[in-house]
Structure 1
Amino acid sequence: MSRLAMLGGTPAVPAGSTDPAATDWPVVTEAEEAAVLRVLRSGRLTATAAGEPEIVALEREWAEYAGVAHCVAVGSGTAALQVALAAAGVRPGDRVVVPALTMNATAHAVRQCGAEPVFADIDPDTYTLDPTRVPEALTARTTALLPVHLHGLPADLDALRSAAPGLAVVEDAAQAHGASYRGRAAGALGLAGCFSLHPSKNLPTCGEGGLITTDSDEVHRAALALRNFGERPPVRTRSYIAHGPGGNARLGPVQAAFTRCQLERLPEQTKERDRVVGAFLGRLAELPGLRVPVVPADRTHAWHILRLRLVPAKLGLPGVAPAAVRRVLHRALRAEGVPLSQYQVAPLPAHPAFRPAGLSVDEIAERFPVAGATVDGTLCLQRRQLNPAAGPVLQAYARGFEKVWEHLPVIRDMVRAQPSDDWRRALAGEAR
C-alpha cells in the first residue's frame, strides 16, 4: 500500500501527469476566433448598432434549444435574474422565496428589485429548494418563487407549484444548460428562466453574459424594455424615449457570437459529459461513506458541479462532526492531486448581507439544518469535468479517492483529532 501524499508519499495524480487540454474550459476553437473576428470587422460592436445580427440570432437559437417562445440576452446571469424578476412583476416590498443554499447572486437579484429574499431549506438528496419547507416561508407579501437548479439538477417544479399555488416561478438555471425535468428543458419550466454565460458555465461566453427564457409575450416585452433604459424595441431607428423603468443590461455582439459557436456543440458535449461523469461517479459509489449525487428518474443533470456527501457513520466515525471529516478528507484528497473545494462555506441566510434582523447565527443553524449539514459534510469538484475530454482525468481522480480510502484507519485518527465545530466557525472568521 502506497503512503498518503499528505504524509510524504507520492500523489496518486502527480502534478503534470494529466493533460491540461483535457480540463481547459471553455474550449475555444477556430470557430470562436472567426466569429469574434467577424464581429470586430463588422463594426457593429454594441447591441444597439443598426442591423446588429449576432444577439438576435443567439436569442432565436437559444429559444429553439430550450423549447420556448422567447429569449432575451443580457449582460450577466445576475442581470438575467434581476430583469426576469422585475419583468415577472416583483416590486419593492414584495417577498421572494429563495433556497438556503445557492450562490449569493440569487438573493442579490431579489434585493436589486427592492424585494426581500425569504429563505427555505433545501432537499437533502437533490440540494434544491425543498417543497415541504416552502409553505413556512410564505406570507401575504410573497409574490414569487426563485428555485435554483443547483449544480445542474432541476428543482422539483411541479411540487413547488403545489406548495405555493398562484406564485410566479422564475428559474435560476445559471448552472443547468442542457438539463431537463419531465421531458422539458430547464428554463422552460416556469414563467421565466435565467441562465449565466460566465466562462465557468456549461454554455460560456468570452466575458460575461446571461439569457432569459419565457413563453410569456408580456414578460418578453417587459424584459426587452428593462434591459435597455425602459425603451421600446425600435422599429427602424432607436427613439431613446423611456416608457418605464430600466437600465443597461445589454449583452455585447462579441459575446453573442462566441456563445453561438459554443451552442452548436452543447448537445454533443452534454451527452459526452454525462458519459464520463457517470463512469467517474460509478467508481466513487463503491467507496463506503461517500454518497454521489442523486438524480431522480424524472430529471437529467447537466453536471456543472459534482457535490459528494460524506457519511461519517459509514466511514467508521459515528457521532463525529461532519465538518471534521470534511476537513481531513479535503486535505488528503487535494494532496493526492484531486482538486476538490468546499464551494459554499455558510448557508445563504447566514451571510451578513441577508441575515434576517434579530436572528443569531445559531438560530439560522436551527432553521436551515439541511443547508448547514450540506456545507459541513460535502466536497465539490468544479469545472474539471466540463470539458468532454476529461474522462481520463476523472479516472485519475477516482484513483486518488480509492487510495485515500485504502488508508481509512489513518484518516479516522486524524479526524478524531479535529475540533468538533461546524460552518459557524468559518463565518466567525469572516466577521473578524
Structure 2
Amino acid sequence: MASHGSTVSPLHPKNQFFQRDLGILVLSIAIQVVLGVLFGHLYDMRIFMATGYLVGTGQNPYISQDLSAVFHNLTFQNITTVGYPPPWPLVLGLIYRVVYTAIPNFLVYNLALKIPIIAANIGLAYLVSGVIRKINPNSKAARKAWLFMLLNPFMLYATAAWGQFDSIVALLALYSLVLFDTGKIKFSAILLAMAISFKPIALPLVLIPLFYLKLDSIRQTLNYYGVLIISGVLFCIVPFIVFGWDPSPILQNWNAHVIVGGGMSFLVFLELTRNSYQLVPAWWFLGMLWIPALAVTSFFIGRSTGGLKNLLIKSTALIMVLFLTRAWLSEPNIILVLPFIVILTSVDEFDRFTLAAIWILPLVFSFFNTAFAQLFFPSLPAVMEKLVALAEEFRKFRLISKIIIVIPWQIVGWRVVFRCLIKTPASHSETLNVAYSGEGDRNQR
C-alpha cells in the first residue's frame, strides 16, 4: 500500500542539513571528542576497557581477571565482567586490536571506545530529523530536532562523557521501525535483533508486529519472527561457539537482572532502606513485574492501524512501560526512548514540558547518584576520589533526593504511556506501508 508521505529515505542526504549546518555538526563532534577523551564512568569504562583487552587477546570476556598490570592502574584489580551480549564485547575487542595495540595510551583508548557511540549519536540526529520530515514533509521542526539531538546535554553526558552505548541501541531500534513501516520486514527484524543483542532494553519492540497483524498475514508474521530469532541466535550464541567462550558464568547468573533493584526504577528506595540493591527474597516477583505490565499494555494497544507516527506512539508506550516497571533502570537507558519523544513532540503529540522532563530528570538524578563525580576517572582520578568522598558525606541527603526525583519521573512516564494508549489510529492515508498482505515481500525482492 503506497504511502502519501515522503518516499525518500530519512537518511537521504537531500533531506538533511549537512551543508547548511556543517558548523553545528563539527561543533557537536568536537564537544563529543573532548568529552570522550577526558571523561568516562569509573564502573562502566573500566569494564569496557578490560573487555576490549580480553576479547582482543582471544580470552573469555565473561570471566573476570586482574588486569592492573595491563593498564598500569590498580583500579583494574577487582572489577566485574561485562554484562552484555557478545556484539558490544566484539566491538570493544576490535577497537583494542586496532587502537590500543598501536597506541597504548589510556586516554586515547578511552576515546577510541566511544567512537562507535559518537557515530551513533550523529546518525541518530539525522535519522530523527528524517523521520519527522517523513511524517510531515512540511514540518519546520526537523532541523530543531536535529540540533536537539546533536547538542542536548543529557545525550552528550550519557554517551560521549559517560561512555554508555544506548544511542547505538536507539539508532538500530528506530531504524528498524522505519524499515518495518516501509515493508522491509526482514531487514527490520535483523536490525531489531541487533539492537536487542547490544542491550535487551529494546526487547518490548518485538511485540510491534503483533499489533499490525491481519488474518491473512500469518506467513509474513512468522517470517518476521523467524528472521528475528535466527538473527538473535547469530548475534548472541554463535560468538560463544566461534570464539570458544565458556558460557557457564552467564548461565550461573541468569537472573542477575531481576534480583536487584534501584537506579531510577520504582525500587529506588532499596539503597536507603536496606543499604543494598538486592531484592528481598519475598519480593522476587518485582523483578519480573515488567512482563505482566507489557502484557497488559499490549492488551490495551490491541490491533492497530496507521502510519509511522502511530507505530512510534505504540513503541514509545512499550518502552516506557518497561522502564517504569523494571526493577533496575540506569540513567543512560533513557537514551532509547528520547528520540521517540523528540519525534512525537515535533509532530505535536507531546508538549515541550514532557520532553524536558524526560531528559532533565535523569540528568539531575545522575548528579545525586555520584555518576558525575565518577566521570573524572580517566583523566583526573584524584579529583574523582575527592568528589566521591564529598558525596559520601551527604549520602542520606543524596539517597532521599534520588527518591524524590523518581516520583515526578514516574508521574511523567505514566502520563506518556496513557497518552500513547488513548491515541486514535491515524487516518487511512497514513496506513502502514507494511500492509502485511504480501507487499512487504515484494519490496524486499
What TM-score do you get using the length of structure 2 for normalisation?
Answer: 0.27
As a proportion of its length, which structure holds more strand? 1
Where is the helix percentage greater, Structure 1 or Structure 2? 2
